[in-house]
Structure 1
Amino acid sequence: MGRLSSSPPPPQSVELRRWTLSEAVHLRGLRASLHEELTGDVLGEGEALEEVPELVVLIATELATNALRHGIPPTIVRLLATEDCLILDVADHDLGSLPELTDAQPDGAGGRGLQLARALSLDVGWYATDRTKNIWASFPRTARLSGSRPS
């Protein structure tokens, strides 16, 4: 097992949207709402996502699942933006544990969220505030992923 690097997300980031989850049943709503925020479109049942929105939604789901399973609720998921990146910031209220990168585990054993984030995002890290432990991952911001809906 290894430690994840400790550093806050870029200070110039702006919060686009926030979700508060208290249990796993809220993950489906997070996925649908995050997709709509990223693309401006409602995700139809069984509909595939474009590459970057799909990665953002996948990592958000994985990190939020980890936080719900191993942290102290509520889990707070924030979508942040800089000029050229989108940043997922997932917080839980367990200040007593540090995020760890686990070695490969058998299917169904869990613990792959941070490994997926490291493999599929531009960068990943963590930081603590006086109330939360936050894990973040950054993604490229494309023209379609403006982070705001047209007026």
Structure 2
Amino acid sequence: MPFLSAQSPPAMTPQHEWVLDSPVQLRSLRASLHEAITGQPLPAGAELDEIPEKVVLVATELATNALRHGLPPTIVRLGRHDNVFVLDVADHSPDVVPRYADDRPPGAGGLGLHLAKQFALDLGWYIEDDTKHVWAEFPVPS
């Protein structure tokens, strides 16, 4: 699948938002996102539960893509729709269409969208004004 489907996510109730200007901020995004999902801070060296781990991993990958290929700032939003979390990562390069990196050798990067497709319930992208959004849905842990 060379391209993601261009579609908007379901309407969501916003819960948290992070604005990133640099890859250095990804570490605090991971910790803060874990706390937003679980209600608990992530202890140093602790492993994440399955759903929070997947959300944090995909958020990190999508935010890295946005920081690398888009124009700042990168905006990461976590919302909720019924029994799913909706992760929305936005950048200001609507002309750069998200695409799977099928032709890259292992270790050359480009696995972010593959991981998102593997771990998320659904995945897509859309453009609103001058902003590109890539989104993914995850089940809310029970």
TM-score between both structures, scaled by the size of structure 1: 0.90
1:11-26 map, 5 Å: 11=11, 13-26=12-25
Deviations 1:4-56 (A, max 9, x none): 10111102x11100000000000000000000111111111111000000000
| Structure 2 residue 53 is matched with structure 1 residue 54 | yes
Q: Distance in 1 between matches of 2:77 and 2:125?
A: 14
How many aligned residue pairs are there?
142
Change (3 A) 1:55 1:104: farther
Q: Which residue of 2 aligns with 1:7?
A: 7
Letter in 2 for 1:18: E
Computed over aligned residues only, the root mean square deviation of the Cα atoms, in angstroms, reads 1.1
1:2-151 map, 5 Å: 2-11=2-11, 13-103=12-102, 105-143=104-142
Deviations 1:106-147 (A, max 9, x none): 34311111111001110000000112100000001133xxxx
Change (3 A) 1:120 1:104: farther
Q: Distance in 2 between matches of 1:107 and 1:35?
A: 28
Unpaired runs of 5+ residues, structure 1, are 144-151
Which range moved further: 63-72 or 38-47? Answer: 38-47
Aligned-partner SS, 1:101: coil
TM-score between both structures, scaled by the size of structure 2: 0.96
Deviation for aligned residue 1:3: 1.0
Deviations 1:56-87 (A, max 9, x none): 00000000000001111100000010111101
Q: Distance in 1 between matches of 2:53 and 2:59?
A: 10
Structure 1 runs (4+) deviating above 2 angstroms are 104-108
Q: Distance in 2 between matches of 1:54 and 1:104?
A: 27
Q: Distance in 2 between matches of 1:7 and 1:53?
A: 24
Letter in 1 for 2:8: P
Tell me if the contact between 2:18 and 2:29 (Cα under 8 Å) persists in the aligned partners: yes
Aligned-partner SS, 2:76: strand
Unpaired runs of 5+ residues, structure 2, are none
Letter in 2 for 1:97: V
Letter in 2 for 1:72: L
